[in-house]
């Protein structure tokens, strides 16, 4: 114990501000990597890699196994090259999030609209969601913010129409040509319907007690993982209303709460550069899940 305490004191005596900065940078890198891999299948793979690495280190250091040690040393470069292939989707998502975090735009796209038009669009979305929920008609409404959704707009039917409850109700009426897919709203207008959204690869919905959630919920999470868009989902099975942003989903909300959340997201002061940067990497500060 005395030797251990002496070693600890020796380490602290050698610390300076550069050493502390070095430790903080390494800690930050590990935090960003683990945070980017959260709620994904890659986290399970990462646990397996860590377990395998620890086992190999113990076998090669505690036991004299020359042939096994030679095999590990020669196979290690190949294992290092395979890591980017295994974690390719997660690495791409982390780089996309980092790239979006560097976009320091002062005012978001929707906030450029007059306050009256913005409130009108939000009210129309809330009213339509409430009526769709009462009728148990499934719906997915994606509202563009900073990041462009042009690649997804091109997959749907162009509309360029004013946002009204009647229009959204007609689009999502069962068995109509446009009811499948998502409606994308940008700059206070319905720009396209029946759009194809990317499906989420995270495990958020897998941990939910309601695992029967279908493609609409996965698409809502998916587009929120690759952009800063806000998605409103109405369940076809239960009629419940959900909202998704930054890879997180709030379930079972009422129309009044939905309107409050949308108003908070699209008010003019909600897109300062500091807030945008923090919201990219720390969405828990701005989005809370239901208990």
More confident residue, 280 or 166: 166
Q: Cα dist. 57→70, 76, 191, 197, 220 in Å?
A: 13, 12, 57, 44, 43
CATH hierarchy code of domain 110-285: 3.40.1700.10
Residues 152-187: b if buried by 16+ CB within 10 A, e if exposed: bbeebeebeeebebebbbebbeeeeebbbbbbbbbe
pLDDT at residue 100, rounded to an integer? 57
Tell me the β-bridge partners of 245. Answer: 248
Q: Check whether 43 has a pLDDT greater than 70.
A: no
Cβ atoms of 233 and 239 within 8 Å: the answer is no
Q: Are 126 and 259 in contact (CB under 8 A)?
A: yes
The phi, psi pair for 240, rounded to 5°, reads -70, 150
What's the pTM?
0.63
Mean pLDDT over all residues of the chain? 77
Higher pLDDT, 13 or 103: 13
Measure the CA angle with vertex 34, ends 102 and 37; round to 5°: 80
The pLDDT of residue 276? 44
Section 210-217 average pLDDT: 71
Res. 140 pLDDT band, cuts 50 70 90: very high
**Cβ neighbours, 10 Å, residue 107:** 13
The residues of the chain that CATH labels 3.40.1700.10 are 110-285
pLDDT at 80 over 80: no
Residues contacting residue 158 through CB under 8 Å, at least 6 positions apart: 191, 192
pLDDT of residue 58: 79
Read off the tokens for 231.
């998605």
The average pLDDT across 31-48 equals: 68
**Average pLDDT of the segment spanning 197-225:** 75
Owner of token pair 């994308």: 184
| Mean pLDDT lowest among 51-65, 204-218, 223-237 | 204-218
Predicted confidence band at 68 (pLDDT cuts at 50, 70, 90)? confident
Q: Which of 26-40, 59-73, 79-93, 150-164 has the highest mean pLDDT?
A: 150-164
* Per-residue confidence (pLDDT) for residue 234, from 0 to 100: 95
| Strand order across the 248-253 sheet | 157-162, 189-195, 182-186, 139-143, 230-234, 241-245, 248-253
Confidence of residue 182 (pLDDT cuts 50, 70, 90): very high
How far is residue 246's CA from residue 280's CA, in Å, rounded to a whole number?
Answer: 7
Tell me the C-alpha to C-alpha distance, in Å, between residue 55 and each of 41, 51, 115, 145, 260. 22, 6, 61, 47, 52
Q: Cα separation of 269 and 272, whole Å?
A: 6
What is the residue whose two structure tokens read 């208990």? 291
Q: What is the pLDDT of residue 130?
A: 96
């Amino acid at each position: 114990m005395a030797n251990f305490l002496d070693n600890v004191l020796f380490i602290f005596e050698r610390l300076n501000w550069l050493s502390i900065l070095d430790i903080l940078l390494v800690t930050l890198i590990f935090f960003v990597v683990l945070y980017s891999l959260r709620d994904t299948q890659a986290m399970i793979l990462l646990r397996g890699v860590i377990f395998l690495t620890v086992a190999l280190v113990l076998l090669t250091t505690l036991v004299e196994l020359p042939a096994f040690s030679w095999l590990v040393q020669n196979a290690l470069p190949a294992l290092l090259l395979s890591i980017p292939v295994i974690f390719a989707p997660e690495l791409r998502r982390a780089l996309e999030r980092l790239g979006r975090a560097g976009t320091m735009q002062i005012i978001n796209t929707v906030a450029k609209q007059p306050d009256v038009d913005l409130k009108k669009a939000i009210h129309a979305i809330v009213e339509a969601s409430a009526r769709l929920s009462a009728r148990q008609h499934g719906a997915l409404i994606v509202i563009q913010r900073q990041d462009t959704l042009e690649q997804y707009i091109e997959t749907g039917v162009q509309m360029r129409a004013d946002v009204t409850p009647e229009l959204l109700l007609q689009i999502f009426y069962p068995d109509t040509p446009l009811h499948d897919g998502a409606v994308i709203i940008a700059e206070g207008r319905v720009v396209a319907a029946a759009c194809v959204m990317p499906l989420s690869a995270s495990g958020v919905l897998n941990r939910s007690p309601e695992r029967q959630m279908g493609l609409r919920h996965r698409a809502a999470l998916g587009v929120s993982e690759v952009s800063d868009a806000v998605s409103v989902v109405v369940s076809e099975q239960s009629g419940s209303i959900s909202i998704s942003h930054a890879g997180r989903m709030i379930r079972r909300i009422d129309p009044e709460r939905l309107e409050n959340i949308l108003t908070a997201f699209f008010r003019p002061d909600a897109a300062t550069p500091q807030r945008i940067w923090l919201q990219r990497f720390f969405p828990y500060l701005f989005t809370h899940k239901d208990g």
